Amino acid sequence: MQTEFVVTAGEQPKRLDVFLANHERDISRSALQRLIELGRIRINEQVVKPSQKIKPGDRITMDVPKPEPLALKGEAIPLEVLYEDDSLLVLNKPSGIVVHPAPGNWTGTLVNALLHHFQTSGGTVSTIGGKERPGLVHRLDKETSGVMVIAKTDQAHRHLAAQFKEHTITRVYEALIWGVPKKGHGLIELAIGRDTKERKKISTRTTSPRDSVTEYQVDQRYGKVAAHVLLYPRTGRTHQLRVHLTSLGHPILGDPTYGGRKVCCIDDVEIPRVMLHARALGFTHPTKGERQEFTRPFPSDMEAITQALERVRSSHMASKRDGKLSISSV
């Protein structure tokens, strides 16, 4: 699909890829950079680099190829099914698996695993999400583990989606965070949206702010270096928990996007991924009308980090005691 537009008067000089990322909201900045490098995006009919500065009057042409139709296939990827009936399926998603296909991840996703599961079991799946997102009522980030519900019928999908929209779903997350909040319990309220400069991030620096609310409770302290917190989101914005905890000054361990490199290693403890887990999910069953809740504890990788953090805490306490003894003996 070919489009053309002219940079308007008053537009400040900026990189072509940055300008387009704000102009073309449906295409990621990295995808735009690839299109520029392939010569599919030009300025005044000239092939340029992503760093080329635009100016008023520049004529930008874009030739974006149509996406090829998807023919998703089921893949024999193990699923930890917690519950299943004719209306829905509840599973424990492992960390490291993308929920639905997208550029760069057309295979090996949770959807591929679900398609195989339903093909072999003879079950159905909701069509409301389309070919790319069959049955998906909600999602978890690639590195986030935990409980998810999948709709098997369109009726169940609509019923569950309405509960998410009305915030009647019970959701509990747990995270390991950098440092320890001063308050053991609190409420975080922020208006957040797609960052105006860093398009892959969510922040308060946005042109499309949406209210977001999270309640938090400190459950365990590991000295002053880290803490285990329980999170009760009252809204479901993209990256909400990651952004909220960063706003407190306590980003999630293993999350360099929002916390920088410091959160990826505590003393000698290497953090393998974003330490966030969807612990519990509760909802009203679409056909039975009864309340159901499913819970899964920490996965083994997060449990290993908690044990390592406890050793760090003990080591710090021992060092502090030894320091006091040395001073008192002088």
185-197 burial string, b = 16+ CB within 10 Å, else e?
eeebebebbbbee
Among 266, 272, 281, which residue's Cα sits nearest to residue 302? 272
Q: Give residue 209's region: left, alpha or beta (phi > 0; psi -120 to 50).
A: beta
Among residues 17, 58, 141, 255, the one annotated as catalytic is: 141
Measured at the CA of 165, the angle between CA 142 and CA 137, to 5 degrees, comes to 40
Q: How far is CA 137 from CA 96, 124, 161, in A?
A: 20, 15, 6
Tokens representing 142 are 């690639």
Say if CB 252 and CB 259 are below 8 A apart: yes
**CA Rg value for the chain:** 24
Say if CB 72 and CB 113 are below 8 A apart: no
**Measured torsion, CA atoms of residues 70, 75, 79, 83, in degrees rounded to the nearest 10:** 60
> Rounded to whole angstroms, how far apart are CA atoms 89 and 244?
30
CA 289 from centre of chain: 30
Q: Is 141 considered catalytic here?
A: yes
SS3 of residue 284 by DSSP? strand
**Active centre residues (catalytic):** 141
